[in-house]
Structure 1
Amino acid sequence: MDNNDKASSNQIKDAVDILPEGIRKIVLGRLNEIVGYEPRIGIMGKTGSGKSSLCNAIFKGEECPVSDVGACTREVKEVRIRFGKRSIYLVDIPGVGESAERDSEYENLYSGLMPKLDLILWVIKGDDRVLAPDERFYKDVLIPAGGKSKTLFVLNQVDKIEPFREWDEQNSCPSPRQMKNIVEKKEYISQYLDFPEHPIIAVSANEGYNVTHLVEEMVRALPKYAQSAVTAQVKEEYKTKKVIEEAKDGFGDTVERVIDEIIDMAPISKPVATLAKAAKKIVVEGIKKVWDFFFG
């Protein structure tokens, strides 16, 4: 253990030592679970929508294929991405753009898979004009499985939206006329899908356009307990102050919620519980100070 590790460990110990002795070990154990959590992000979209290029644009870790999980006649492909001490899983989910007859084949798959996913990135190609299969699958399969609140739609390859010859290559951004069409396309998709819970984000993964905004919205859409581990895997150029603050606050909120649960369930007296509640804020702030050690 180097000096930084020792200093961080001591800071965590000092923070937790404020709590009553009866719950310190439990809090430390749960803290290890929070820090070690490995989020799962589902990736959806038709062939050619740029799912792989989008993931490569966002994440910096090394990919390691984990498994091909048989699902009827289809497969769910899972890849583990690891950078430093943290890992996340990307889950390539099948189904979009296939025939309506196959939807029933996916109903059981999605109902079982959805509780395991923290977020779904649904990628739509910028110049795709046939959205009926996306709408059908979203409304008939994903929403009934409980996926509406977990789904973030991404309009990718917007550099191909007309007039594509006007794309500003020097600044890697749309021309004014392209931007007008991009805004109209986002509004159209939003209405077509009955206004998804999260905003539709327009990007060009290959050009690096608007990926920063996507990462910010992605972290915001994640459950608080998953935000920090995902942030740890994001490329440095997209790890904005807003992203880090969101993740740190989510981490602190998660730790605070867990401490509350432990206090409420632990076999301790009411005066001891009151003392622990009073010390909780100090503990959380102390643990948040070593966020960079865990996830930076």
Structure 2
Amino acid sequence: MSQFANKEDKGRDLVKDALEILPENIRESIYRRINDVISYEPVIGIMGKTGAGKSSLCNAIFKGDVCAVSNVEACTRETQEIRIQFGKRAVRLIDIPGVGESAERDSEYEHLYRDLLPQLDLVLWVIKGDDRAFSADEHFYKNVLLPAGGEAKTLFVLNQVDKIEPFREWDVTHARPSPAQMQNILDKEAYITQRFGFTDHPVIAVAASEGYNVTHLVEAMVRALPKHAQSGVAAQVKDEHKTATVTEVATEGFADTVDKVIDELIEATLPKPVAIVAKAAKKAVVSGIKKAWSWLFG
């Protein structure tokens, strides 16, 4: 039996043990629902113009085996779903065509994004560090993603900041910008924030190929994800990015999701007097299930 199977079994045993104090007639239903949470595969859209470094960014963030699953149904041939799996957990990435690259395709892409957005837990909108043309991106964000409810789902990533002037000053030894570059990076972040209308999440500047600031991006991603998707992503990021912050946010998100699941089933299944007793035990149940997180996703 593999190490992943051993950890998985240990985690599931902890979940079952924690459920023992609940009424027997709802334990199996709750366990099945929690299993759905554990097995959930987050879906992340990666969008941006050609040359923005989407592939290098994904390679810098995620571990595991990458394989193309299929073209997304009813979409253009350029839009592909990629599944990344390490151990028992997996993440699905949808590589979305860049905006503003073909005037005749912009209308087609608008329909594509509107159809895709409800399926996505998060959108990473990758912008090249030295790009100065934002009108097409701005149009799509304000006229397509915002009306479709994408504001809370969109995280802007300023990539390849090692190419921001004065690019010859990039500190190669320590993989970080010079003071002059850092100021220009901050100015660029502020400019993007202003152009796109003060987005829900802060703009994150990285140099994926240099490994610069990728951990900070991963922390921002986990915070931006819906709670039920945080643990699945945390399980797939490279170990060097799985910080205490990532683990804490994902663990709390998992606990909150489990809490909601238990609440819903107690209210839907049990008579009121029994439900009151079950809800009183819920805090201890959730606390016990939280202990399974590191076995299931760590």
Name the TM-score, length of structure 2 as normaliser. 0.95
Query: What's 1:55 paired with?
Result: 58
C-alpha offsets along residues 256-276 of structure 1, whole Å, 9 cap, x if unaligned? 01111111111x211110011
Query: What's 1:133 paired with?
Result: 136
Q: What's the secondary structure of 2:16's corresponding residue? A: helix
Structure 1 portions without partners, runs of 5+: none
Q: In the alignment, is the contact (CA less than 8 A) between 2:72 and 2:79 conserved in 1?
A: yes
Cα distance change on mapping 1:171 and 1:273 into 2, 3 Å = same
Query: 2:127 is matched with which residue: 111, 124, 128?
Result: 124
Query: What's 2:273 paired with?
Result: 271
Q: Which moved more, 1:199-208 or 1:15-24?
A: 15-24
Q: In the alignment, is the contact (CA less than 8 A) between 1:42 and 1:91 conserved in 2?
A: yes
User: Are residue 224 (structure 1) and residue 227 (structure 2) matched?
Assistant: yes
For this pair of structures, how many residues does the alignment match?
A: 295
User: Are residue 176 (structure 1) and residue 197 (structure 2) matched?
Assistant: no
Q: In the alignment, is the contact (CA less than 8 A) between 1:74 and 1:94 conserved in 2?
A: no
Structure 2 portions without partners, runs of 5+: none
Query: What's 1:283 paired with?
Result: 285
| Sequence identity percentage | 65
How large is the Cα RMSD of the aligned pairs? Answer: 1.6
Q: How does 1:92-241 map to 2 (within 5 A)?
A: 92-241=95-244
Q: What's the secondary structure of 1:146's corresponding residue? A: coil
Superposed displacement of residue 7, structure 1: 4.5
C-alpha offsets along residues 16-66 of structure 1, whole Å, 9 cap, x if unaligned? 011112211111000110000001000000000000000000000110100
Query: 1:64 is matched with which residue: 56, 62, 67?
Result: 67
Q: In the alignment, is the contact (CA less than 8 A) between 2:30 and 2:262 conserved in 1?
A: yes
C-alpha offsets along residues 102-144 of structure 1, whole Å, 9 cap, x if unaligned? 3332333222211110000000000001111111111122222
Q: In the alignment, is the contact (CA less than 8 A) between 2:100 and 2:106 conserved in 1?
A: no
Q: In the alignment, is the contact (CA less than 8 A) between 2:49 and 2:99 conserved in 1?
A: yes
Superposed displacement of residue 10, structure 1: 3.4
Cα distance change on mapping 1:11 and 1:49 into 2, 3 Å = same
Q: What's the secondary structure of 2:152's corresponding residue? A: coil
Query: 2:261 is matched with which residue: 255, 258, 263?
Result: 258
Question: Aligned letter for 1:125?
Answer: K
- Structure-2 separation of matches of 1:89 and 1:270: 41
Name the TM-score, length of structure 1 as normaliser. 0.95
- Structure-1 separation of matches of 2:243 and 2:153: 22
C-alpha offsets along residues 146-201 of structure 1, whole Å, 9 cap, x if unaligned? 21110000000000000000011111100000000000000001101111111000
Superposed displacement of residue 211, structure 1: 0.5
Q: What's the secondary structure of 1:90's corresponding residue? A: strand
Q: In the alignment, is the contact (CA less than 8 A) between 1:37 and 1:226 conserved in 2?
A: yes
Cα distance change on mapping 1:24 and 1:70 into 2, 3 Å = closer
Superposed displacement of residue 100, structure 1: 4.7
Q: In the alignment, is the contact (CA less than 8 A) between 1:95 and 1:103 conserved in 2?
A: no
Q: What's the secondary structure of 2:235's corresponding residue? A: helix
Question: Aligned letter for 2:62?
Answer: F
Superposed displacement of residue 72, structure 1: 5.9
C-alpha offsets along residues 185-242 of structure 1, whole Å, 9 cap, x if unaligned? 0000110111111100000001100011000000000000000010000000010000
Q: What's the secondary structure of 1:185's corresponding residue? A: helix
Q: What's the secondary structure of 1:114's corresponding residue? A: helix
Question: Aligned letter for 1:294?
Answer: L
- Structure-2 separation of matches of 1:95 and 1:140: 15
- Structure-2 separation of matches of 1:98 and 1:3: 48
Cα distance change on mapping 1:33 and 1:4 into 2, 3 Å = closer
Query: What's 1:86 paired with?
Result: 89
Q: Which moved more, 1:71-80 or 1:112-121?
A: 71-80
